């Protein structure tokens, strides 16, 4: 009995200790929670001030604030019920029952993240997303998450659920610089949010999880799947009927192509500013930054006008909807004008470069390694490299053509041959210097045609041509001149960055060849400008249809790029050509830029010489050698590097003149070359007479001189146009004639005597 009492007493003591510890822990937890709760203040003004935008100025000081960042507010009661239900069902099913955070989702997400050793799973409620979007950063830390939950709880006490949902819908980011559901509705569907269909509401609700991945403008197929998943979630929640669900599944996403105002330049400037400050767009906008750009307002208006006019003609003629992009950069890298009539932006546009890659992936490295000169001949013929048998665009073979002709006319076969001789690694190294990184699968001869697994960023392609225009000096592209904070303090100022990455002579030769492209090659539409401009076209092909058209044109001062495609269908009408539509756009832009003054020509570097070479030797023996003839018609000129000039060869100048006599006269013979002129002389008593001039002939030449037998002695000699003289050959016609007659008389006498004797 005593033992039981002692045991009971001991148990009570343990229980009391545990209870005290638990109470103490709860007290600490409560105090900590109170401290944490009171540590973070809810900034109601910042939360409800949803109409703050970012100022974007042109170089002239004109304010081009994006309309998308000045958010249009929509009241929740004006939205169809299925619109709000789409967002609640996919983002926060228990929105109306929790107090700002969802404990079940937090536990589930924590377990998944723990098992996967990642932070991929989120558990944010609509309230938490609103707090994060309006007040916090995007960093994934435990302390920020606690702050997010605390502020969500405080917000739930200050505002009703409908007020929170309204603020959320007017704050959330939908991609394409669209903040808030009203602006998103206009950007994607050109309508007010109150007029959204169920299909469109499902699409918008699906975007916000990841605008980059689920935007119908950037990833249509992903967006379509996500839209259908939102509809399935709504159907399972009872928010839409089976018929409505089936209708959504059967409906495509019909995006609006209408754009009331162009803000493509400003969108790129905002993207660049975020990168420079290492913040996201929401933080840039919410903190009231001001961006001053390099945009030339007059040029921008003209570029938009020119691009839209040409694209409208194309669309009417082909009954298609086209994407296009035109950009003008001064050669220090400053973007003066940028217009994208496209769902893609410059910074995320990655496409097959086609023939625009040839100058930098094939011909430049071949010139760097002294494999080719502009005058080098390449045989354009049918080829087959283990089943790879490319054809030229015109479906014909051109025989031996110069490097200059092959590149300016964008022939495919010479490009493939040159790359095969160069080696893929040297091409890879050259492209890497331009900042273009190849996939392992790109290391094949298809690279000569600009075919790549992942394509290239258009911005990288543009930078490469700016480098060519600068004779090997790289300049970084820039939209932003400076960034100011809300108080007007400069937080960033552009400073030019440049780096010499290629020899100026190598780049000069490429530029000089591409000037031919603009006068007589694939960009010959530019020839009417009468400007020192280089250009390259490109047409990407997917095996069945053309998909992308390019023209890149550049002078010593500006570089232009125009691109045309149909991103929705990923093929273009066959009657659209890179040599026509994008080239015509660039031609008209150049015409505007240089309406008053022409650009200077590309400066010839010291290591480049303009030298003659032998045409006949090049055509017949495919060697670039110094001229062996002084005749202009057999001499061509081109630019050469001083360490890769036409070779000097020893010409056999021995003139093999022979003269044979017969009773008809003297026959002078010698072997002629087509690229030389020869003069045959005969000299009588120290007086020379020209008896024949021979040119444009090759092989054995024979000249008969009948007027010889009245002279005792004649001397013949041959002279070419380089004053090389043959040995003199002396003949004695009268002596020859007397000997000939004596021989005939003697022979006749013998014959007569024989006959006479026989008859006698």
- Torsion sign over Cα 97, 102, 104, 105: positive
Residue in 654, 650, 659 with CA at minimum distance from that of residue 726: 654
Q: With contact defined as beta carbons under 8 Å apart, do 592 and 299 qualify?
A: yes
Which single residue is written with the structure tokens 């790359």? Answer: 419
pLDDT, residue 653, reads: 63
Distance separating alpha carbons of residues 185 and 174, to the nearest angstrom: 10
**What percentage of the chain exceeds 70 in pLDDT?**
85
At residue 257, the pLDDT reads: 62
CA–CA gap between residue 564 and residue 4 (Å, rounded): 93
CA angle 481, 487, 492 (to 5 degrees): 25
The total of other beta-carbon atoms located within 10 Å of residue 725's CB is: 14
pLDDT of residue 493: 96
Does the structure show a pLDDT above 50 at 386?
yes
**pLDDT for residue 752:** 37
Cα angle 318-323-329, degrees, rounded to a multiple of 5 = 130
Cα dihedral 588, 594, 598, 602 sign: negative
**Residue whose structure tokens are 């790289």:** 474
Task: Phi first, then psi: give them for residue 456, nearest 5 degrees.
Answer: -130, 155
SS3 300: helix
Q: How far is CA 268 from CA 47, 309, 330, 481, in A?
A: 27, 23, 17, 13
20 versus 524: the higher-pLDDT residue is 524
Residue 436 has pLDDT above 70, yes or no: yes
Residue 600 CB partners (closer than 8 Å, separation 6+): 532, 556, 557
Q: Are 549 and 582 in contact (CB under 8 A)?
A: yes
| Contact by Cβ (8 Å): 292, 491 | no
Tokens 């229980």 belong to residue: 15
Give, in degrees to the nearest 5, the angle at Cα 502 between 498 and 506. 135
**pLDDT reading at 640 higher than 90:** yes
Tokens encoding 10: 């001991």
Helix (H) or strand (E) holding 617: helix 615-621
In whole angstroms, what is the distance from residue 244 CA to residue 728 CA? 107
According to the model, what pLDDT value does residue 698 have?
83
Residue 473 CB contacts under 8 Å (≥ 6 apart), including other chains: 467, 498, 499, 500, 501, 504
Cα angle for residues 228, 229, 233 (degrees, 5° grid): 115
The mean per-residue pLDDT over the stretch 465-487 comes to 95
Q: How far apart are CA 693 and CA 691, in angstroms?
A: 7
pLDDT tens for 62-77 read 776 654 455 577 889 9
| Residue 278: closest CA among 138, 141, 71 | 138
3-state secondary structure 189-236: HCCCHHHCCHHHHHHHHHHCCCHHHHCCCCCHHHHHHHHHHHHHHHHH
Q: How confident is the model at residue 108 (pLDDT cuts 50, 70, 90)?
A: low
Query: Is it the case that residue 675 has pLDDT exceeding 90?
Result: no
pTM of the model: 0.77
613: which strand partners?
636
Instruction: Please tell me the distance from the alpha carbon of residue 494 to that of residue 276, in angstroms, as a whole number.
Output: 10
Q: Is residue 230 classed exposed, middle or buried when 0-12, 13-18 and 19+ CB atoms within 10 A define those classes?
A: buried
Structure tokens at 561: 């790029």
Distance CA 224, CA 255 (A): 12
625, β-bridge pairs? 647
- Joined together, the tokens standing for residue 699 give 């092989």
Cβ neighbours of residue 32 closer than 8 Å, sequence gap 6 or more: none
44: left (phi over 0), alpha (psi -120 to 50) or beta: alpha
Q: Does residue 51 surpass a pLDDT of 60? A: no
Q: Percent helix, strand, coil in the chain (nearest 5)?
A: 45, 20, 35
- Let me know: does 458 contact 561? Beta carbons within 8 Å: yes
More confident residue, 150 or 6: 150
Residue 284's pLDDT band, with cuts at 50, 70 and 90, is confident
The more confident residue out of 111 and 60 is: 60
Helix (H, G, I), strand (E, B) or coil at 66: coil
* Per-residue 3-state assignment (H helix, E strand, C coil) for 403-442: HHHHHHCCCHHHHHHHHHHHCHHHHHHHHHHCCCCCCHHH
364 vs 697, which has greater pLDDT? 364
Least-confidence region, from 2-16, 329-343, 402-416, 524-538: 2-16
């Amino acid at each position: 009995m005593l033992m039981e009492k002692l045991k009971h007493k001991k148990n009570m003591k343990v229980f009391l200790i545990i209870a005290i510890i638990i109470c103490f822990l709860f007290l600490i937890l409560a105090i900590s929670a109170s401290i944490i709760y009171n540590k973070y203040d809810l900034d109601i003004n910042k939360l409800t001030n949803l109409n703050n935008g970012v100022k974007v100025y042109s170089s002239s000081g004109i304010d081009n604030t994006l309309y998308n960042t000045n958010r249009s507010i929509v009241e929740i009661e004006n939205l169809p019920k299925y619109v709000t239900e789409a967002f609640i069902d996919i983002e926060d099913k228990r929105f109306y029952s929790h107090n700002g955070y969802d404990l079940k989702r937090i536990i589930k997400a924590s377990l998944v993240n723990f098992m996967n050793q990642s932070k991929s799973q989120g558990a944010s409620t609509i309230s938490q997303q609103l707090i994060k979007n309006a007040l916090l950063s995007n960093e994934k830390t435990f302390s920020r998450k606690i702050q997010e939950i605390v502020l969500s709880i405080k917000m739930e006490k200050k505002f009703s659920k409908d007020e929170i949902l309204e603020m959320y819908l007017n704050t959330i980011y939908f991609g394409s610089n669209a903040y808030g559901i009203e602006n998103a509705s206009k950007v994607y569907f050109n309508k007010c949010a109150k007029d959204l269909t169920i299909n469109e509401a499902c699409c918008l609700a699906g975007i916000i999880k990841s605008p980059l991945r689920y935007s119908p403008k950037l990833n249509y197929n992903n967006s379509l799947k996500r839209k259908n998943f939102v509809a399935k979630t709504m159907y399972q929640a009872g928010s839409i009927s089976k018929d409505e669900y089936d209708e959504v599944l059967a409906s495509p996403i019909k995006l609006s192509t209408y754009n009331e105002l162009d803000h493509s330049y400003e969108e790129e400037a905002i993207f660049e500013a975020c990168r420079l400050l290492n913040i996201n767009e929401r933080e840039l906008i919410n903190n009231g930054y001001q961006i001053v750009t390099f945009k030339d307002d007059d040029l921008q208006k003209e570029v938009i006008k020119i691009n839209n006019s040409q694209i409208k003609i194309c669309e009417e003629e082909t009954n298609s909807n086209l994407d296009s992009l035109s950009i003008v950069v001064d050669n220090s890298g400053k973007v003066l004008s940028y217009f994208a009539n496209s769902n893609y932006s410059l910074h995320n546009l990655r496409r097959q470069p086609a023939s625009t890659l040839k100058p930098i992936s094939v011909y430049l490295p071949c010139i760097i390694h002294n494999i080719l000169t502009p005058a080098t001949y390449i045989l354009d013929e049918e080829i087959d490299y283990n089943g790879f048998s490319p054809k030229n665009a015109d479906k014909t073979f051109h025989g031996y053509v110069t490097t200059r002709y092959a590149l300016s006319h964008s022939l495919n076969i010479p490009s493939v041959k040159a790359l095969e001789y160069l080696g893929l690694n040297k091409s890879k190294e050259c492209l890497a210097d331009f900042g273009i990184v190849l996939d392992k699968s790109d290391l094949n001869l298809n690279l000569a045609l600009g075919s790549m697994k992942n394509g290239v960023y258009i911005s990288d392609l543009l930078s490469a041509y700016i480098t060519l225009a600068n004779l090997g000096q790289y300049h970084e592209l820039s939209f932003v001149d400076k960034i100011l904070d809300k108080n007007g303090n400069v937080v960033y100022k552009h400073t030019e960055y440049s780096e010499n990455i290629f020899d100026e002579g190598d780049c000069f030769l490429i530029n000089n060849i591409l000037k031919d492209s603009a006068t007589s090659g694939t960009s010959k539409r530019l020839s009417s400008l009468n400007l020192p401009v280089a250009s390259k076209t490109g047409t990407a092909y997917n095996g069945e249809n053309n998909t992308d058209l390019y023209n890149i044109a550049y002078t010593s001062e500006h570089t232009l790029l125009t691109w045309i495609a149909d991103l929705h269908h990923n093929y273009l009408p066959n009657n659209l050509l890179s040599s026509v539509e994008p080239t015509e756009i660039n031609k008209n832009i150049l015409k505007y830029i240089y309406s008053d003054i022409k650009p200077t020509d590309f400066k010839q570097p010291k290591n480049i010489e303009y030298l003659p070479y032998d045409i006949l030797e090049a055509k017949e023996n495919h060697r670039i050698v110094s001229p062996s003839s002084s005749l202009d018609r057999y001499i061509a000129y081109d630019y050469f590097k001083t360490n890769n000039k036409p070779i000097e060869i020893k010409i056999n100048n021995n003139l093999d003149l022979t003269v044979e006599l017969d009773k008809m006269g003297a026959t002078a013979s010698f072997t002629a070359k087509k690229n030389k002129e020869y003069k045959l002389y005969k000299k009588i008593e120290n007086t020379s007479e020209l008896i024949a001039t021979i040119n444009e002939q090759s092989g054995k030449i024979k000249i008969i001189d009948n007027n010889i037998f009245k002279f005792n002695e004649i001397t013949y000699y041959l002279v070419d146009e380089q004053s090389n003289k043959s040995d003199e050959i002396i003949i004695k016609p009268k002596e020859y004639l007397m000997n000939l007659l004596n021989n005939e008389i003697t022979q006749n006498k013998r014959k007569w005597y024989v006959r006479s004797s026989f008859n006698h």
